[in-house]
């Protein structure tokens, strides 16, 4: 039982990432009708926002201390981050330590801005073009964004640790009444899961309880009518895109400690996120979220040693297999609307 629980927990962090990315994808597809292959790149940019903030905060002056020498015999160089110089050593170190959560604040405006630019500059010209063209141009954009990041940050993953307070693991099992050390789980991953739930609920609440959200939901159900009602749908589309970009971005920011950001993480997550959207049902927000978590957990179970003994390598392909089976058996996905794309 504890093993099962452990696997479920293991699947939650990736599952949360899938759910968040799929959420953004579905928002964009459901409201704007655009297939956005660059969404994974937005996730990646979010992660690199965290990296950037950490780098920025760590910018140091280099002073030479003649009294100490380093191992080569030269006067030692002491790096003092500006932040520490301005706020004092303790506060400064704390700020640097908390750069990942701080990056959430830092990244939201950036991601929204990027989303706005993307939508106004590129996406809106493709609303009436066939899906194939949308896929292609956003695919090109994803490559461009990826290469820009690669040129700026290099090809190697850049470790971006979580704040010290959350770095370790804790004995989760004890909380639930299991034996000690039965279920040990890293703090940060639980935080990521909780964080993703918060974001998801906020998005749902926004859609449910605000007028703007209501219009968006109406647009998702019937875009033509909404347009005919004289509602300026353009502005809302832009804002929607910005929100979706921000969701992907913060998902990336918080994911940075879990898996060191590297330039192709966007593409890696993109394929799986599309698979998640299709399994959940294209156009269904709850479906996307649910499918994200389920597939994350499924992947985790498939990598259990017991299962790998029977079916080696199953963890690599289980998600794709599931998607293929579902697309064949129940093409509208878990929660898609009946009749959509059942051709």
Partner 1 sequence: MLGLNKRDTKFLIIVILLTAFTPFLLQPFPEGSAMAQFNGGYPDLMQRVAIFGIFAIGFNILFGLTGYLSFGHAAFLGVGSYSAVWMMKLLSMNIIPGIILAMIMSGLFALLIGWISLRRSGIYFSILTLAFAQMSYNLAYSVLTPLTNGETGLQIRPNDPRILDGENASPYTNLFGLDMSASYKWEVFGHQFTFNTGFYVCAVIAVIAFYISLRIFRSPFGMMLRAVKSNQQRMSYTGLNPRPYTLAAFVISGMYAGLAGGLLAAMDPLAGAERMQWTVGGEVVIMTILGGAGTLLGPVLGAGAIKYLENIFSKINDNVLHNWFSFLPDTPFWTGFPFYSDASIEDAVVWFFSRFTGEGWALTLGLMFMLVVTFLPGGLVEGGRRIMGLFKRKPKGDGDDPEHHPQSTPHVAE
Query: In the bound complex, what is the minimum distance in angstroms from residue 104's beta carbon to partner 1?
Result: 28
Q: Does 139 bind partner 1 (CB under 8 A)?
A: yes
CA pair distance 333, 30, nearest whole angstrom: 15
Q: State which of residues 56, 135, 190, 218 lies at the interface with partner 1 (CB under 8 A).
A: 135
| C-alpha distance from residue 329 to each of 26, 201, 286, 317, 335 (Å) | 21, 30, 20, 18, 13
Q: Does 137 bind partner 1 (CB under 8 A)?
A: yes
Q: Pick between residue 252 and residue 281 the one whose CB is nearest to partner 1.
A: 281
Write out the binding residues for partner 1, residues 21-80 only, by CB under 8 A.
35
| 146 within 8 A of 263, measured Cβ to Cβ | yes
Q: State which of residues 77, 125, 167, 330 lies at the interface with partner 1 (CB under 8 A).
A: 125
Q: Retrieve residue 221's tokens.
A: 């159900």
Q: Pick between residue 22 and residue 250 the one whose CB is nearest to partner 1.
A: 22
Nearest Cα to Cα of residue 116 among 236, 2, 231: 236
Q: State which of residues 43, 274, 293, 301 lies at the interface with partner 1 (CB under 8 A).
A: 274
Residue with tokens 């971005």: 249
Q: Pick between residue 12 and residue 275 the one whose CB is nearest to partner 1.
A: 275
Q: Does 184 bind partner 1 (CB under 8 A)?
A: no
C-alpha angle 248-239-121 in degrees, rounded to nearest 5 = 85
CA pair distance 317, 330, nearest whole angstrom: 19
Write out the binding residues for partner 1, residues 277-336 only, by CB under 8 A.
278, 282, 312-313, 316-317, 320-321, 323-324, 327-328, 331
Query: In the bound complex, what is the minimum distance in angstroms from residue 83's beta carbon to partner 1?
Result: 17
Q: State which of residues 143, 182, 184, 190 lies at the interface with partner 1 (CB under 8 A).
A: 143
Sequence-distant (≥ 6) Cβ neighbours of residue 89 within 8 angstroms: none
Q: Does 151 bind partner 1 (CB under 8 A)?
A: yes
Q: Pick between residue 210 and residue 316 the one whose CB is nearest to partner 1.
A: 316
Residue with tokens 């913060």: 250
| 19 within 8 A of 292, measured Cβ to Cβ | yes
Nearest Cα to Cα of residue 53 among 96, 113, 92: 96
- Catalog residues that contact partner 1 under the rule CB under 8 A: 35, 122, 125, 131-133, 135-137, 139-144, 146-148, 150-151, 267, 271, 274-275, 278, 282, 312-313, 316-317, 320-321, 323-324, 327-328, 331, 341, 343
């Amino acid at each position: 039982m504890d093993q099962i629980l452990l696997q479920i927990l293991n699947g939650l962090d990736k599952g949360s990432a899938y759910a968040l990315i799929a959420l953004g994808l579905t928002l964009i597809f459901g409201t704007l009708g655009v297939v956005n292959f660059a969404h994974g790149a937005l996730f990646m940019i979010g992660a690199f926002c965290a990296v950037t903030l950490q780098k920025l905060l760590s910018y140091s002056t280099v002073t030479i201390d003649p009294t100490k020498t380093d191992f080569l015999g030269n006067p030692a160089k002491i790096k003092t981050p500006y932040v520490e110089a301005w706020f004092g050593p303790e506060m400064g170190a704390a700020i640097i330590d908390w750069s990942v959560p701080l990056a959430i604040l830092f990244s939201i405006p950036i991601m929204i801005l990027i989303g706005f630019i993307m939508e106004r500059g590129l996406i809106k010209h493709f609303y009436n073009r066939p899906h194939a063209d949308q896929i292609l141009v956003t695919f090109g954009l994803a490559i461009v964004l990826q290469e820009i990041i690669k040129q700026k940050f290099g090809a190697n993953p850049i470790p971006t640790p979580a704040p010290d307070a959350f770095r370790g693991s804790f004995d989760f099992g004890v909380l639930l009444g299991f034996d000690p050390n039965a279920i040990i789980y890293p703090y940060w991953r639980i935080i990521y899961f909780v964080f993703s739930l918060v974001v998801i609920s906020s998005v749902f609440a926004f859609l449910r309880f605000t007028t703007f959200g209501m219009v968006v939901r109406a647009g998702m159900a019937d875009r033509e009518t909404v347009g005919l009602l004289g509602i300026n749908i353009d502005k809302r589309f832009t804002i929607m895109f910005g929100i979706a970009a921000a969701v992907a971005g913060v998902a990336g920011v918080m994911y940075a400690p879990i898996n060191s950001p590297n330039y192709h993480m966007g593409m890696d997550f993109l394929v799986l996120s599309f698979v998640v959207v299709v399994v959940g049902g294209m156009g269904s927000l709850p479906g996307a979220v649910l499918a994200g978590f389920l597939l994350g957990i499924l992947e985790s179970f498939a990598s259990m040693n017991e299962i790998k003994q029977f079916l080696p390598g199953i963890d690599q392909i289980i998600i794709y297999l599931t998607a293929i089976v579902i697309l064949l058996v129940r093409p509208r996905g878990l929660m898609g609307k009946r009749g959509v794309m059942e051709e």
